[in-house]
Amino acid sequence: MDLSVRIGSLVLKNPLIAASGCFGYGVEYADVVDLSSLGALVTKGLFLQAREGHPSPRIVETPAGMLNAIGLQGIGARRFVEDKLPELRARRATVIVNVCGTTLDEYAEVSRILSDAEGVAAIELNISCPNIKEGGIQFGCSLNGTDDVVRAVRKVTRLPIIPKLTPNVADVASFARAAEEAGADAVSLVNTFLAMVIDIETRRPKISNGLGGLSGPAIRPIAVRMVHECRQTVKIPILGMGGIADARDALEFIIAGANAVQVGTASFVDPFIWSKLLDGIGDYMQRHHVARVADLVGTVVRGLKAEG
Amino acid sequence: MPFDVAAEVIANRPLSSDFNVLALAAPAIAALSAPGQFVMVKPGTGLDPLLRRPFSVFEVLRDAGGTPTGITILSKRIGASTSLIYDARPGQHVACLGPLGRPFTLVDAPTEAWMVAGGVGLAPFATLAESLRARGVACTLFYGARRAAELFFLDFFRALGVELALTTEDGSLGEPGRVIAPLDRQLAARAPSSSVMIYACGPEGMLAATARTAAAHRRPCEVSVERIMGCGLGGCYSCVVPMHSADGHAHHVRACLAGPVLAADQIVWD
């Protein structure tokens, strides 16, 4: 059974990826998960400098989901390379670094620092965080901005570039196309949906930032639709995500058009989810006589089932 | 390394219309738990509530031979998860991940241990008192609640030889008012040469007041903070606490990894 996934020059051993912002820097999970068993892990978003993020409370639960506004707390690119990357290398993790910036220069500079470091497999460009004013989203909500960021980073790295797209736009597929035309090797989608929860007793938002990003099973059908639309629009690999909680959900994304899937919120609930997902995908492939997971990508069947 | 078990509910003991003690079969977690550590619990398997909730380990259960068999958690019903925990039936299974987090620093005699608990903040002090009494440390529990009926396990602490200083907001038992008043008074009555370690768990305002009181009397103080947690493992950065740092700015640390027990004088209190 071939579970491998190709993203530009990078080959993942399986399609399961820990999503950015949901897995710390990976090292936090080293006692719980064999990091080398994952297709890849995506780090928390990194700017050039350290950031403290928003005050508590930073999350609130909603039916089948959660809102977060962490505010991209992070240690900065250089400290990541010094403090976290050596352990990730030692544990043979495939590391995709989520790169943030407030300017094109910052995206390029962070990407250059990470490209020079040993042990970074790819760069995911955070152009879609809904929770901070000055970082990323202004690029990710404009086709020109998306084009600019990808081209700026393309100039400084040979690593695969994977812009992470926001669902908070009218037509996600047009952003996937802009990324592809600018030279991206793949796209990740979707980031969280901008949302709000209010405490009716105090009439205050339940998280400190006011607004936050909705994730979890509540968003899954919308995310599947967006992956499907992007699959019909671009040829580059898609890293699909949005509320995946079991192997069936992962397969749904793959069939919709994702080459690999990212899992975030569900690994909060079950940090041991990874082997269960892998087993479930394997069982499905056996049951359906699918030899390569790549053969499942974008195989939605149209129309009603024929009789007989 | 934490264990994740589908722990069978051994018993569910209601203490009032809101508080209950849930006993879970979890030998591996029980064997590793240190006072102040916590578990992430998910009652039910559905998507609503979706996330686990953090609970201090309240008691470590042991069989006749002293081998750890399980833990209990002290819960107050305030939302969906705690309602499920209040209504849990023996035989049901509850996902339980732990033990997690940094425990209390244990002191040795002749240093005395003064524990300050507010409401459900009593939770970490049963195991802490047991550990400290086993080391021969003199212990006092300053314990405040809204009313007498919400002061629990008093006989348990008395049987351990823990001095009690009780307060209720309605004056129905002990001293009327908040728990900080007797703490402040007794600290003022102490000779500065005597050694006292303060441990606190409870509402944020009580923790801040305890921290101020401890600082005013120049006593070391550890607090167990309560935060909304997404994962309990350091993955989500939801549970941060602002701490003083060398550069003068508040630095956010994750309560699940650096805490839940933190040095009171390092926290930036509002």
Active-site choice (A22, A100, A129, A230)? A129
What value, to the nearest 5°, has the Cα angle with vertex B26 and ends B24 and B29? Answer: 125
Nearest CB to B235; choose among A28, A61, A63 = A28
What are the chain A neighbours of B52 within 8 Å (beta carbons)?
Answer: 268-269
* H or E element at residue B71: strand B68-76
In this complex, is the C-beta atom of A221 within 8 Å of any C-beta atom belonging to chain B?
Answer: no
Task: Report whether A98 contacts A121 (CB < 8 A).
Answer: no
pTM: 0.95
From A74's Cα to the closest Cα of chain B, the distance in A is 10
Q: Are residues B146 and B75 in the same domain?
A: no
Residue A238 — pLDDT band, cuts 50, 70, 90? very high
Residue B100's identity, in one-letter code, is L
Q: Does B50 fall in a domain?
A: yes
Percentage of residues in chain B having pLDDT higher than 90: 94
Q: How far apart are CA A258 and CA B213, in angstroms?
A: 57
Please tell me if residue A175 touches chain B, with a CB cutoff of 8 Å. Answer: no
CB contact under 8 A, A24 and B52: no
Q: What is the mean pLDDT of chain B?
A: 96
Shared domain for B198 and B252, answered yes or no, is yes
How do residues B203-242 score in pLDDT, each as one tens digit?
A: 999 999 999 999 999 999 999 999 999 999 999 999 999 9
Q: Is B235 on the interface with A (CB under 8 A)?
A: yes
Number of domains in chain B: 2
At A141 the pLDDT is: 87
For residues B48 and B146, state if they share a domain: no
Same-domain check for residues B190 and B131: yes
Closest CB from B97, B227, B249 relative to A56: B227
* Predicted local confidence at residue A133, as pLDDT: 59
Tell me: do B120 and B236 sit in the same domain.
Answer: yes
Q: Which residue of A has its CA nearest to B232?
A: A268
The whole-angstrom separation of Cα A52 and Cα B253 is: 9
In a domain, B160, yes or no: yes
What is the rounded distance in angstroms from the CA atom of residue A27 to the CA atom of residue A30?
A: 5
Residue at token pair 């005699």: B109
Does the residue B106 lie in any domain? Answer: no
Taking an 8 Å cut-off on Cβ atoms, the answer to whether B47 and A29 are in contact is: no
Nearest to A58 among B47, B48, B237 (CB): B237
Interface test with B, best of A44, A268, A273, A275 (most B CBs within 10 A): A268
Q: Cα-Cα-Cα-Cα dihedral of A154, A160, A161, A162, to 10°?
A: 170
Q: Answer yes or no: is pLDDT of B8 > 70.
A: yes
- Which of B44, B75, B100 terminates a domain? The answer is B100
Asked if the structure places residue B105 within a domain, the reply is no
Both B185 and B221 in a single domain?
Answer: yes
Q: Judge if B118 and B11 occupy the same domain.
A: no
CATH number of the domain that residue B90 is part of: 2.40.30.10
CA-CA distance, A249 to B128, in Å (whole number)?
44
Distance CA B247, CA B244 (A): 8
Contacts with B218 (C-beta within 8 Å, 6 or more apart), sequence order: B192
Across the range A158-170, mean pLDDT stands at 96
* pLDDT score, position A139: 80
Which residues form the domain of B93? 3-100
For residue A307, pLDDT over 90 is answered with no
State which of B71, B100, B129 marks the end of a domain: B100
A-chain residues within 8 Å CB-CB of B101? Answer: none
User: Considering B37, B69, B100, which residue would you say is the last residue of a domain?
Assistant: B100
Please report the pLDDT score of residue A131 as a whole number. Answer: 62
User: Which residue of B lies nearest to A218 if distances are taken between CA atoms?
Assistant: B47
Map tokens 């002749």 to a residue.
Answer: B110
Using CB atoms, which residue from A53, A63, A216 is nearest to B237? A53
Sketch out chain A's domains with CATH numbers. Answer: 5-49+72-198+218-296 (3.20.20.70)
In this structure, the answer to whether residues B173 and B241 fall within a common structural domain is yes
Is A129 labeled as catalytic in the residue annotation? yes
Interface check for B219 against chain A (CB to CB < 8 A): the answer is no
Domain assignment of residue B179, yes or no: yes
Q: What is the pLDDT of residue B84?
A: 95
DSSP element (H, E) containing B14: strand B3-14
pLDDT reported for residue A12: 98
**Chain A closest CA to B185's CA: distance in Å?**
33
Phi and psi for A85 in degrees, rounded to 5? -60, -40
Return the pLDDT at A134: 62
Average pLDDT over residues B63-91: 96
Which residues on B lie below 8 Å from A65 (Cβ)? Answer: 50
Looking up tokens 């060398």, which residue turns up? Answer: B246
Domain membership of residue B222 (yes or no) is yes
Residue B215: which H helix or E strand, with range? helix B204-216
CB contact under 8 A, A22 and B235: yes
pLDDT digits (tens, 9 = 90+) for A56-82: 999 999 999 999 999 999 999 999 999
Q: Which residue has the tokens 């994740």?
A: B4
Asked, for residue B107, whether it belongs to a domain, the answer is no
Give A130's contacts (C-beta < 8 A, 6+ positions apart): A137, A166, A168, A191, A192, A193, A194, A211, A212, A213
Dihedral angle, C-alpha A114, A115, A117, A120, nearest 10 °: 80
Q: Is the pLDDT of residue A306 over 70?
A: no
Same domain, B121 and B240: yes
**Are residue B118 and residue B244 in the same domain, yes or no?**
yes
Angle between helices A104-116 and A143-154 (to 10 degrees): 30
* CB proximity A32 to B under 8 Å: yes
Query: How far is the C-alpha of A178 from the C-alpha of A148, rounded, in Å?
Result: 10
Is residue B142 within 8 Å of B117, Cβ to Cβ? yes
Percent of chain A with pLDDT over 90: 92
CA-based nearest distance A292→chain B, Å? 31
Q: Is residue B122 part of a domain?
A: yes
Cα separation, B125 vs B193, whole angstroms? 26
Nearest chain B CA: its distance from A185 CA (Å)? 27
SS3 B97: strand
Q: Does A248 touch chain B (CB under 8 A)?
A: no
Q: What is the CATH number of the domain that holds B216?
A: 3.40.50.80
* B83 neighbourhood in chain A, CB within 8 Å: none
Q: CB distance from B204 to chain A under 8 Å?
A: no
DSSP characters for A223-277?
HHHHHHHHHTT--S-EEE-SS--SHHHHHHHHHHT-SEEEE-HHHHH-TTHHHHH
Question: Are B27 and B118 in a shared domain?
Answer: no
Cβ distance A58 to B1 less than 8 Å, yes or no, reads: no
Q: What is the mean pLDDT of residues B141-159?
A: 97
Same domain? For B83 and B161 the reply is no
